[in-house]
Amino acid sequence: MQTDAIVMEKPQSLALASIALDAPVDGDVVVEIDFSGVSTGTERLLWSGRMPNFPGMGYPLVPGYESVGRVVEARPGCGHKVGDAVFAPGARCFGPVRGLFGGAARTLVLPGARAIPIAASLGEQGVLMALAATARHAIAGGESPDLIIGHGVLGRLIARLTIA
């Protein structure tokens, strides 16, 4: 099985490539991606080569962890069915190409437990799930912030959750 994916070959080198997908096993889902976001923080660090080193980091890699799609194959034990709308926080299914994040591909193979069910009506807004979780964790202590500095997507989500 093949997929088209964005591949960062090295810092400041990006390509659209056809790459092999690992075969799905029991417990996995195959997801066709409809929408994928770009994290201006993480992807900028990957692009520039300034991403801190941690296990699994390296090039070439498929970036992206903000992807929404639908299940097109549901292996036994995956907890999903064909047609389910899911948020896919990336995948490691690209053979020799690293998938540390791995969401910027047309098709993903990932464990069913990592495919988070969402309402299909969310459409492209579903890509905000990762940032919404970060915003929620930022205010999880119970007290509302007195000041939110930064008016990017994360700052706006924190503000909206604070007044919700």
Task: Provide the residue ranges of all domains of the chain, joining segments of one domain with +.
Answer: 2-123
Confidence class for position 29, pLDDT limits 50, 70, 90: very high
Q: Could you report how far apart the first and last alpha carbons of the chain are, in Å?
A: 44
Return the CATH number of 2-123, one of 3.40.50.40, 3.90.180.10, 3.30.300.20, 3.30.70.890: 3.90.180.10
pTM of the model: 0.89
Percentage of the chain surpassing pLDDT 70?
100
Confidence class for position 153, pLDDT limits 50, 70, 90: confident
Confidence class for position 78, pLDDT limits 50, 70, 90: very high
Per-residue confidence (pLDDT) for residue 100, from 0 to 100: 76
Asked if residues 80 and 45 have their Cβ atoms less than 8 Å apart, the reply is no
Write out the DSSP string of 54-93. -TT--SSB-----EEEEEEEE-TTSS--TT-EEEE-----
Helix axes 153-163, 129-138, angle to 10 degrees: 60
Extract the tokens encoding 89.
């926080």
Asked if residues 64 and 103 have their Cβ atoms less than 8 Å apart, the reply is yes
Give the distance from CA 156 to its chain's centroid: 20
How far is residue 16's CA from residue 98's CA, in Å, rounded to a whole number?
A: 15
3-state secondary structure of 164: coil
Stretch 15-43: mean pLDDT, rounded?
A: 94
Is residue 87 pLDDT above 90, yes or no? yes
Per-residue confidence (pLDDT) for residue 121, from 0 to 100: 96
